Structure 1
């Protein structure tokens, strides 16, 4: 390795640099030249004129493509990553192997930090780097004589090819946000993801057919509504509030929405976000054609009108270092911050987005959070009806009618049971479909639940009326 000493002059370095340009192969020229030029920069004589000197002697030009630009995702970065990922692996020195689901073989992908590419007889070099904040970026290096071709044609070619490949092989993704304490460290970005492969669709959803058709039509109208939203002057987004008891299909509904529209899902964990500023950063880093989900929003954070008062009380209660440390770990996302996220100026930082809230307790939510215009459509997913049961019977048993249906219909009118519980009774037993056995199991479960609910109703009435014998006629006369 060349070291700078007192007996090595800058003229010697220039001679070495010239030799590199003449004798070394292209893929080594850049690395060696950069080292020599950076060494020359350390000479006191050149520090005043380093930029002019480097531009004069180096024949190479760099363009960087960062993954994020001011916290907004750079779609050119994604297209470049897709394009470079398709380059041949037969000459790559570093590979990574993955096994795709339902595949016995391994898929080999290039894992080189550097890649050489050619375009119209010109050679260019790509390198993956990490910037000062820890975010990834691609650096494109080329000879300055190729500047016009690269900037006006090649970069456009790479981005367009990458987008075409992505569209052809498009897979929906399920994202979740990384804790903000990890942003920028160890190459960790705002979101991490896996491929989304949930099989749910509207055809198999166990709910009232009329309600299902209404939701489906609303989603299709939204996805085709670009010009309409532009015309009325609103951001191209829509909010859906899914509420109802556990097991009624709220998560399944979200999966069906994504599969219908071919949208990716961003599962937002509010408790991993420290403040409103971080919430905005996450929003701007999401892509269009996506569903942003906050499940069990009543449990995620305290977003009632009393939040500011509670925060003030907590601050006054801090007395020792342990309490201070505990408070530093709390999330201080406020109701106003969340409202700006879904309906303020920042909500217009992307197009074609759906925001979904789910809750088991509608009454706990602040009315400002779920008013129309923020949550445009309120969808109640309630206990299993006979119409929903028939869909489940078709899904699980390939059954349209049966003599036991009438008894099940009567019991469903008198019993509150979640569709998930009904489905559990209809599933295969020992890998075999037993229609009579499954239906009888369901009838037994309904009768048992009906009895429990009747006892609970009696207990509730006793408690309500001071443990006195409850007489319903007393309420009439």
Structure 2
């Protein structure tokens, strides 16, 4: 009869081996210990069919959170959360819903192109056992996969996780409104507040066809990274918003920011000393952002009439021209047109991507043609007086109606009366206490007729004079 080997005996032999090995290695030369350990690891690696990639929470200096780790955390919270048994929740910002992701020492699976991978959340505890500080704990993700899929994971899957994770972070983050600080320092050039403007394209008083054209253009830009790279252009786009005051230029900027989910940088040119400081401020902006210069015609003397003004100022021979030293100081302490153009589409504009630049003006005729030509301000958007289609949007937003018998009279009046959407909206707010829609619309018609008569009277007076 053949004797069956005893597993208990084998276990005892292994325990004895490891006990003896622990004693021997303490007296073993370091070179020999390194050789034996390396040999064991190579043998185990040969038998183990899996590869592993670690994603640490912080960089090597343990000071800055690693972007790939953050993207993986966001990706797992969206794509793999349903497979996890242990979760953790935390508030990422004030008054926000909890951010939920997998807890430490939890493992989830994911599938990419038919290949299964394993994510394991873990952390490295401090070496010292006397004091345990949360600041000393280093969290990381370990990504495991079969070694035959290594090229797919390294070249495609990690990029997939990074792209999806970045999109989730951008969608969930608190967007910000920045303004440049006067007396800029190298460490801090922008201050910011939370951007919480409620404007959307649905609430924007503008014709539906024009809104759709703008939204389609924005979508093409947002999804055009590879196209811009292919044609050799910087991934940016310029929009010029022009029209009378109160026609919704600032509201349009807020609607674009909410539509794209971008941060907004409100650039005050008069607070910038020179072109060098302008470049420094520009380099401190981030991708997925809108850089706004409102009332560009009032910010600086950047119109095409600058040279004529300078000649006119000193044409009187009795007035002494400025000294050379004063001229040099004047030049070095101002943002010039050429400096601004380089900021928009020169070499410095290539430092970063996915940026939108918006200028607003009430007087487009005052701007230098070089500043607003196509390629710099790619799309010119006229913000006009209120049309009937724009009024219908306001009526829906403020009164909750989409049609009314009095609309025909209002439509005819808006063809003759120049009234801004802001004025109509203000009138809606003032009459918000009127519950009878008929009464409000009758009052509106009365006011429009009054404005029409005043406009006729003013026109007659001008002709008489």
Would the TM-score normalized by the shorter structure come out above 0.5?
A: yes
Q: Which residue is equivalent to 2:254? A: 255
> Is the alpha carbon distance of 1:230 and 1:249 closer, same or farther for their aligned partners in structure 2, counting shifts above 3 Å?
same
In 2, Cα distance between the equivalents of 1:379 and 1:202? 14
What is the deviation of 1:436? 1.9
Q: Which residue is equivalent to 1:190? A: 189
Q: Which residue is equivalent to 1:217? A: 216
Q: Which residue is equivalent to 1:272? A: 271
In 1, Cα distance between the equivalents of 2:173 and 2:362? 34
2:173 is the alignment partner of 1:170: yes
> Is the alpha carbon distance of 1:100 and 1:63 closer, same or farther for their aligned partners in structure 2, counting shifts above 3 Å?
closer
> Is the alpha carbon distance of 1:371 and 1:356 closer, same or farther for their aligned partners in structure 2, counting shifts above 3 Å?
same
1:449 aligned residue (443, 451, 456): 451
**CA RMSD of the aligned region, Å?**
4.2
> Is the alpha carbon distance of 1:305 and 1:430 closer, same or farther for their aligned partners in structure 2, counting shifts above 3 Å?
closer
Gaps of 5+ in 1: 1-61, 67-73, 84-97, 104-117, 125-140, 154-159, 468-477
Q: Is the 8 A contact 2:267 2:291 kept in 1?
A: yes
1:387 aligned residue (386, 389, 392): 389
Q: Is the 8 A contact 1:425 1:441 kept in 2?
A: no
Q: Which residue is equivalent to 2:288? A: 289
Q: Is the 8 A contact 2:248 2:421 kept in 1?
A: yes
Q: Is the 8 A contact 1:176 1:191 kept in 2?
A: yes
In 2, Cα distance between the equivalents of 1:331 and 1:353? 27
In 2, Cα distance between the equivalents of 1:416 and 1:404? 19
Alignment of 1:5-154 (within 5 A): 63=61, 100=94, 119-122=123-126
> Is the alpha carbon distance of 1:63 and 1:317 closer, same or farther for their aligned partners in structure 2, counting shifts above 3 Å?
farther
Q: Does the residue aligned with 1:252 lie in a helix, a strand or coil? A: helix
Q: Does the residue aligned with 2:202 lie in a helix, a strand or coil? A: helix
What is the deviation of 1:285? 0.6
> Is the alpha carbon distance of 1:227 and 1:122 closer, same or farther for their aligned partners in structure 2, counting shifts above 3 Å?
same
Q: Which residue is equivalent to 1:409? A: 411
Larger Cα-atom Rg: 2
In 2, Cα distance between the equivalents of 1:419 and 1:378? 19
What is the deviation of 1:330? 9.8
TM-score, normalised via structure 2 length: 0.62
In 1, Cα distance between the equivalents of 2:95 and 2:458? 47
Q: Is the 8 A contact 2:171 2:261 kept in 1?
A: no
> Is the alpha carbon distance of 1:396 and 1:341 closer, same or farther for their aligned partners in structure 2, counting shifts above 3 Å?
same
Q: Is the 8 A contact 2:170 2:261 kept in 1?
A: no
Gaps of 5+ in 2: 1-59, 75-91, 98-121, 129-134, 144-161
Q: Is the 8 A contact 1:426 1:442 kept in 2?
A: no
